[in-house]
Homo-oligomer: A and B are copies of this chain.
């Protein structure tokens, strides 16, 4: 029998950095481990309302959450867009996904570099011209024309370092290749 000493993991920003480095090593050794497939089902309810059920996904060569709880969330539209405003609308959800991903990316990548973060507070907004959705002009795109992100981060790292880290965000990659995103970062 060995007499191993269990070393406690390094945790920075609430992220288990020891486990993160194990993930990085595992994906480097076998890229198949890094291949993820996320998915969900959605059913229309009526008018502006529909409901997604988010459950299993595949990654690290395994299916997860198959027997676990499902996350169930709706889309809606405000009355001014002919709905009942019982849930955020799809373009609001895009902003939630975008800033959520930029925030998680900041916490994780700072942790991996040993940069401590005390707080991240952000505002995000996007401009959308309804003429696109309504088909009133071919010159107006249907989605956002411009998105602005303002992040305020409590850290000793320079704002430029944080801003560069947000470029690692998967949702910023998805949205930012399609819509200009103006990012400003303030540190304190």
Binding site for B on A (CB under 8 A): 13-16, 19-20, 23-24, 27-28, 31, 33-44, 46-50, 52, 54, 57, 59-60, 62, 64-65, 68, 71, 73, 75, 77-82, 85, 87-101, 103-108, 117, 119-136, 141-144, 168-179
Determine whether the beta carbon of A87 is less than 8 Å from that of B62: no
Interchain residue pairs with CB less than 8 A apart (24): A31-B131, A35-B127, A36-B128, A36-B129, A39-B95, A40-B96, A41-B121, A42-B103, A43-B122, A50-B104, A59-B80, A64-B80, A90-B104, A90-B171, A91-B97, A91-B101, A93-B96, A133-B169, A135-B168, A142-B168, A142-B170, A143-B172, A173-B178, A174-B178
Given contacts A46-B13, A92-B54, A120-B50, contact A80 B101 (CB under 8 A): no
A52 and B130 in contact, given A101-B91, A107-B47 (Cβ under 8 angstroms): no
